[in-house]
Amino acid sequence: EDQVTQSPEALRLQEGESSSLNCSYTVSGLRGLFWYRQDPGKGPEFLFTLYSAGEEKEKERLKATLTKKESFLHITAPKPEDSATYLCAVQAGGTYKYIFGTGTRLKVLA
């Protein structure tokens, strides 16, 4: 069964304290792995798409990496405005279905 698991469920960081969020997945034929940021009361905001193991993408303080079993979202020197829920999703091969994890709630304290 296609499945996405994110950890930790919640994370509190001090401003400037770097950390990583994990997304492990089981999927039959990965078409893509996606990271989103979601603020309360809003729809998810697209961050990255990764397609193959070894791929990395960066945007400001965020860097996403991909292996055959998991993806990491590294946050370098986070700021309070990085506080949000970060969602990971995979698109399964053979279908066009997107499977989402339940997210990591990140709180960055000033």
Residues that bind another protein (CB under 8 A): 31-32, 34, 36, 42-46, 49, 51, 87, 89, 91, 95-103
- Between CA 2 and CA 59 the distance in angstroms is 28
Instruction: Give the nearest distance from C-beta 93 to another protein in angstroms.
Output: 12
Smallest distance from another protein to CB 94, Å: 11
Q: Closest CB to another protein among 78 and 103?
A: 103
Query: At its nearest, how many Å lie between another protein and the CB of residue 46?
Result: 6
Q: Which is nearer to another protein, 9 or 60 (CB)?
A: 9
The partner residues of 77 in beta bridges, in order of sequence, read none
What are the two backbone dihedrals, phi and then psi, of residue 80, each rounded to the nearest 5 degrees?
-55, -35
Q: How far apart, in Å, do the first and last CA atoms of the chain sit?
A: 41
The residue among 94 and 110 lying less far from another protein, judged by its C-beta, is: 94
Give the closest residue to 97 by CA, choosing from 51, 31, 48.
31
